[in-house]
Structure 1
Amino acid sequence: MSQWFDTWDIANLHQKEELQIEGLKESVASIRLLVNREVASLGGQREKVVLAGLSQGGATAVHTVLNVAKGLGGLMVFSGRMPFSGRTLAKMRSILDLAEVPEDDNAVRTTPVLVQHCTNDPLSRVQNGREVRNSLSSFDAQVEWREYPTDAAAWLRARVFNEN
């Protein structure tokens, strides 16, 4: 099933993980170009650029931050996941094999991160969000973690539409 990139089985996201590479690489490359244009339009003020993503968009945003040279104003991931978790930063970068990837971890360490996940989300298990948190923390990212005891749809209805 394709959104930002292909996956084989949402119940086991590590199964046939290699199918994610091509689409994730293309998506991250596109987002990096967009980030560079935004930074240029802001006179180089990277701290004013924040990436945010839901589900696969969150995974794409995370991999974008892993593959930029300098930190951003922030990264927000809701109901996200971490393709290729359990690997070093260098290995994650080598999987996508993008051009102009930094050798240091400056962007990862200096970009503040907020990761949020609902504990009862039927499509994106809370463990997926915990993997995002744990992976980024292992790279010395500044991660704030929040879990909500509901599912994503109920959480959004309550906050966006003020429904109980």
Structure 2
Amino acid sequence: MDFPQPHIQLPIGSHTHTIILLHGRDSNGAEFAEELFSSKSSKDQGLFTALPTWRWVFLTSCDRWSDRFQENMCSWFDAYSLDDIHQRQDLQIDGLRESISYLYLGGISQGMATGLWALFCATGRSGLQGPLGGFLGFCGWLPFAKQVEALIEQRRPCGSLEIQYSVSKFFLDTLSSNEKVEETQTQTINLHILFTPVFLSHGADDAWVSVELGQQASQILKQILVHVEWHKFSGAEGDGHWIKEPEGFDQILKFLEDSVARSAINAIQ
């Protein structure tokens, strides 16, 4: 499936970092970029001006059929209901399979949901030598969260390493075009990606995606990943389905700065 060209904001001067973000349902990369860059931190800075050496890549999904709305929409996968994300989960698999093969990192709403799956499925790519610099997720959820919760509970007596392997294999199995990933292949799962630091934030008054879904994702990820930050807020624009200004952007900048510093320390070690 062909995806549209990404919307790219080039750095000013030397290029030090790249960040890849995904839009929500029925949006696109250029629209997400415009909304994100027009928001400010407490220092009256936008993300682009605060991080001038960063390259920003805003991916755009292809149009796919929505079974709920009976029309084509620009979306990463077909989410039948946001009131009950477990309803007709089978509709999500094809879109997730196609979308994660195209991307790597996080985003907002459905973009966050897709990015999380990309993060876990990256454990099946043995060429990765380490974690990503960071993952940013806003006002989203984790598809198939109940199944992952059950798997964690089942594997808890075996320890964290077994949980990481089992959860990674669940994601890979679910999207596999074959019946299942062979048992012998579990040894090739690369867990380095699970050391990627994760930042999640969600509006308590989000009218579109319940904050409980974001909190559920955060609680699950904290049992699998090494570093997860969770932030809850209220009073953001867009009926709470956005990032709170300026506090939310202060938190994003601090997370990115801390992640850069952490990466530099690890490189020295």
User: Structure 2: where are the runs of 5+ without partners?
Assistant: 1-65, 67-72, 152-166, 247-269
Q: Is 1:12 matched up with 2:84?
A: yes
Q: Provide TM-score, normalisation by structure 2.
A: 0.47
Q: Is 1:62 matched up with 2:116?
A: yes
Residues 15-164 of structure 1: pairs in structure 2 closer than 5 A: 15-32=87-104, 51-69=105-123, 70=128, 71-86=131-146, 87=148, 88=151, 89=167, 90-97=169-176, 103-108=189-194, 110-151=195-236, 153=238, 156=243, 158-159=245-246
CA separation of 1:9 and 1:80: change in aligned 2, threshold 3 A: same
1:85 partner amino acid: A
Offset from partner CA, 1:102-147 (integer Å, 9 cap, x none): 5243211x10000000000000100111122122112133100000
CA separation of 1:10 and 1:93: change in aligned 2, threshold 3 A: same
User: Structure 1: where are the runs of 5+ without partners?
Assistant: 33-50, 160-164
Mapped partners of 1:60, 1:141: distance in 2: 20
User: How far does residue 156 in structure 1 lie from its aligned partner after superposition?
Assistant: 4.4
Please give the secondary structure, in 2, of the residue aligned with 1:67. Answer: helix
The 8 Å contact of residues 236 and 244 in structure 2, kept in 1 or not, is answered as: no
2:87 partner amino acid: Q
Mapped partners of 1:150, 1:17: distance in 2: 31
Q: Provide TM-score, normalisation by structure 1.
A: 0.75
Mapped partners of 2:116, 2:237: distance in 1: 19
- Mean Cα deviation higher: 67-76 or 57-66: 67-76
Please give the secondary structure, in 2, of the residue aligned with 1:147. Answer: strand
Q: Identity over aligned residues, as a percent?
A: 28
User: How far does residue 19 in structure 1 lie from its aligned partner after superposition?
Assistant: 0.6
Mapped partners of 1:105, 1:18: distance in 2: 26
1:75 partner amino acid: F
- Mean Cα deviation higher: 22-31 or 128-137: 128-137
Q: Which runs of 4+ in 1 moved over 3 A?
A: 98-102, 154-159
Please give the secondary structure, in 2, of the residue aligned with 1:31. Answer: coil
User: How far does residue 152 in structure 1 lie from its aligned partner after superposition?
Assistant: 5.0
* Higher Rg: 2
RMSD (CA atoms): 2.5
